[in-house]
């Protein structure tokens, strides 16, 4: 199978290449992309010998070219957003790992879907922003969409065989998405007022990129995942329930009409869903240690606290509002998380900024990609304006 890995230098990208390297007979890497970590991308290119490597800026492309040329590599270096979509839709590519973080990943992920590829979707923001447009393109092109997000991969594995988006026909009552609760699961409101970026990115169970780590701390990650589940499985908001499960061993569950509940379990390591989607419908070694249930010993469950984690509630609200609301929510969240990481916004300010942005941007329909990108732009502009006002007030 010939692969393009979008976001190869990130947490998911590195885990993907770890699995790929275990099966040299099965996988061939055609293209790797990374935004700015040129040294990491150069090392990956020397190991996996892709035909193409893509970076963001022209200056980084020059640096990468030089590093590769000096090492005798024949990888061709491209740069810029258009090159991402180009390597995602090359005719010789069978599968595309979509592991760019945030809205920047939407155009190349959509390009892969349009080209009818097997799309391994980690970039949940793409689906949150553009769910209807994206799913229509997948269907139209006959692309195969396989979820990498551990919860959705677990749901996919627990769904009826050949589930085609009809919960009633499949006898499915509810989707139960598990959530670790993040680093502040038991923290008081008082503690949450003082949270620093360093504390927020230190997740108890998973090692991930900075943005998704902050999303896990606010529980916006679970909110985005509720919206992601809605689109992937054609499930209405009231059939998707979030269950806090601090051990992160059950990755999610499907509740059937007959009372059966099927779940997927495993150690919290993204190489499991990655290997599952890479090899589907076969199974391959992922490098993940076998689950030791005696060491796990206990599986606990709690109801999420929407008062302490209002981001989860905001995401349900955006999903129920339909139209542009989820795209605006996602844009506002990206602005808020970046501001929090730069210490321009408090931890609790993240939810406040998103709520204010959702209230301020008028409702609109999202019939096509142009409308999605406009909603994204409006959400970012409004969130940035409100943030500036907040800053002026507290100064
Ligand atoms: P990361 O920050 O570690 O890596 C992000 C990747 O995207 C890097 O390769 C970076 O170079 C690239 N990138 C960033 N900005 C870009 C831009 N403007 N243009 C092009 N490329 C850009 O993030 P991650 O943790 O690997 O997460 C990637 C995606 O997978 C996210 O959407 C995240 O929500 C999702 N995801 C991650 C995990 C996890 O365990 N890390 C789990 C589930 C879902
Ligand atoms: Mg997840």
User: pLDDT tens track of the chain, all 395 residues?
Assistant: 999 999 999 999 999 999 999 999 999 999 999 998 999 999 999 999 999 999 999 999 999 999 999 999 999 999 999 999 999 999 999 999 999 999 999 999 999 999 999 999 999 999 999 999 999 999 999 999 999 999 999 999 999 998 999 999 999 999 999 999 999 999 999 999 999 999 999 988 888 899 999 999 999 999 999 999 999 999 999 999 999 999 999 999 999 999 999 999 999 999 999 999 999 999 999 999 999 999 999 999 999 999 999 999 999 999 999 999 999 999 999 999 999 999 999 999 999 999 999 999 999 999 999 999 999 999 999 999 999 998 766 64
CATH of residue 341's domain is: 1.10.1740.10
273 lines ligand 1 (CB under 6 A): no
Q: Retrieve residue 105's tokens.
A: 């990943």
Q: Ligand 1 in contact with 378 (CB < 6 A)?
A: no
Residue 312 lies in a domain: no
Instruction: State the ligand closest to the CA atom of 222.
Output: 2
Whose alpha carbon is nearest atom 32 of ligand 1?
Answer: 123
Out of 4, 12, 17, 214, mutate this one to test ligand 1's pocket (max ligand atoms within 8 Å of CB): namely 12
pLDDT at 207: 82
Ligand 1 atom nearest residue 37's Cα:
11
Q: Which of 114, 2, 99 is nearest to 51 (CA)?
A: 2
Please check whether residue 65 lies inside any domain of the structure.
Answer: yes
pLDDT of res. 394: 60
Q: Tell me, what CATH number does 32's domain have?
A: 3.40.50.720
Q: Is the dihedral of CA 322, 215, 286, 98 positive or negative?
A: positive
Instruction: Decide if 292 is inside a domain.
Output: no
Ligand 1 and 125: CB distance under 6 A? yes
Nearest Cα to Cα of residue 208 among 11, 377, 2, 3: 11
Pocket test for ligand 1, best of 101, 218, 222, 288 (most atoms within 8 A of CB): 101
Name residues whose C-beta falls within 8 Å of residue 348's C-beta, 6 or more positions apart in sequence: 192, 193, 195
Ligand 1 neighbour 126 (Cβ under 6 A) = no
How many domains are contained in the chain? 3
Residue 278 lies in a domain: no
CA atoms within 13 A on the CB side of 27: 23
Q: Are residues 109 and 189 in the same domain?
A: no
Q: For ligand 1, say whether the CB of 149 is within 6 Å of any of its atoms.
A: yes
Kindly state whether residues 130 and 17 are assigned to the same domain.
yes
What is the residue whose two structure tokens read 């990650």?
Answer: 221
Do the beta carbons of residue 390 and residue 353 sit within 8 Å? yes
Integer Cα distance of 166 and 147 in angstroms: 17
**Ligand 1 neighbourhood includes 100 CB (under 6 angstroms):** yes
Give which of 212, 213, 192 is closest to 204, Cα–Cα.
213
C-alpha 347 to ligand 2 mean position (Å) = 21
Look at residues 100, 121, 148 and tell me which one is the last residue of a structural domain.
148
Q: Report the pLDDT value the prediction gives residue 393, as an integer from 0 to 100.
A: 65
Q: Could you tell me if 359 and 227 lie in one domain?
A: no
- Mark whether 91 and 136 lie in a shared domain: yes
Are 40 and 97 part of one and the same domain? yes
17 and 136 in one domain?
A: yes
**Do 118 and 206 fall within a single domain?**
no
Give me ligand 1 centre to Cα 278, in Å: 18
Q: Do 186 and 257 belong together in one domain?
A: yes
**Residue 107 sits in the same domain as residue 173:** no
Ligand 1 in reach of 209 Cβ (< 6 A): yes
Q: Are residues 15 and 129 in the same domain?
A: yes
pLDDT for the residue 162: 87
CA distances from 232 to 30, 128, 134, 184, 190 (A): 27, 10, 10, 28, 37
* Containing structural domain, residue 369: 322-390
Residue with CA closest to ligand 1 atom 40: 208
Looking at the structure, tell me whether residues 54 and 133 fall in a common domain.
yes
Of 117, 148, 179, which residue constitutes the final position of a domain?
A: 148
Which pTM does this prediction carry? 0.98
Quick one: 110 and 166 in the same domain?
Answer: no
> Residue 317: its pLDDT value, please?
98
* 300 belongs to a structural domain: no
Ligand nearest to the CA of 106: 1
Nearest CA to ligand 1 atom 18: 104
Residue 78 covered by a domain: yes
Measured in Å, residue 10 CA sits from the centre of ligand 1 at: 5
> Nearest Cα to 172, choosing from 250, 262, 88, 100?
262
Nearest atom in ligand 1 to the alpha carbon of residue 100 is 7
Strands 76-79 and 52-55: parallel
Residue 214 lies in a domain: yes
Give the number of whichever ligand sits closest to the CA of residue 268. 1
Last residue of a domain, one of 245, 265, 285: 265
147 lines ligand 1 (CB under 6 A): no
User: Is the shortest distance between the CB of 7 and ligand 1 below 6 Å?
Assistant: yes
215 lies in some domain: yes
């Amino acid at each position: 199978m010939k692969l393009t890995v979008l976001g190869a230098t990130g947490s998911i990208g590195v885990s993907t290449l770890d699995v790929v390297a275990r099966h040299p007979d099965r996988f061939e890497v055609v293209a790797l992309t990374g935004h700015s970590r040129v040294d990491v991308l150069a090392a990956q290119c020397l190991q996996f010998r892709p035909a193409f490597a893509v970076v963001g800026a022209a200056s980084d492309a020059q640096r990468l070219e030089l590093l590769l040329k000096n090492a005798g590599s024949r990888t061709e270096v491209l740069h810029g957003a258009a090159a991402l979509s180009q390597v995602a839709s090359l005719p010789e590519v069978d599968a595309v790992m979509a592991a760019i973080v945030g809205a920047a990943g939407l155009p190349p992920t959509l390009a892969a879907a349009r080209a009818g590829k097997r799309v391994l979707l980690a970039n949940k923001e793409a689906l949150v922003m553009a769910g209807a447009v994206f799913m229509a393109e997948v269907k139209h092109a006959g692309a195969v969409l396989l979820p990498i997000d551990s919860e959705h991969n677990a749901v996919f594995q627990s769904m009826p065989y050949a589930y085609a988006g009809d919960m009633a026909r499949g006898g499915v009552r509810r989707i139960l998405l598990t959530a670790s609760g993040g680093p502040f699961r038991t923290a008081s409101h008082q503690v949450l007022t003082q949270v620093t970026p360093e504390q927020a990115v230190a997740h108890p169970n998973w090692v991930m990129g900075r943005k998704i780590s902050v999303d896990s701390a606010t529980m916006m990650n679970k909110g985005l995942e509720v919206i992601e589940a809605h689109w992937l499985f054609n499930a209405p908001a009231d059939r998707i329930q979030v269950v806090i499960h601090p051990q992160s061993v059950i990755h999610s569950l499907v509740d059937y009409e007959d009372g059966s509940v099927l779940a997927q379990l495993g150690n919290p390591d993204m190489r499991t869903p990655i290997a599952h989607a890479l090899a589907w419908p076969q199974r391959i070694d992922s490098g993940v240690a076998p689950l030791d249930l005696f060491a796990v010993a206990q599986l606990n469950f709690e109801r999420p606290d929407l008062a302490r984690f209002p981001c989860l509630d905001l995401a349900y609200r955006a999903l129920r509002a339909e139209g542009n609301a989820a795209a605006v929510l996602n844009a506002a969240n990206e602005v808020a998380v970046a501001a929090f990481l730069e210490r321009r916004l408090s931890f609790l300010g993240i939810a406040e900024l998103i709520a204010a942005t959702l209230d301020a941007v008028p409702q609109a329909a999202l019939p096509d990609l142009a409308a999605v990108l406009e909603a994204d732009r409006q959400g970012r502009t409004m969130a940035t304006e409100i943030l500036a006002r907040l800053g002026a007030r507290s100064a």
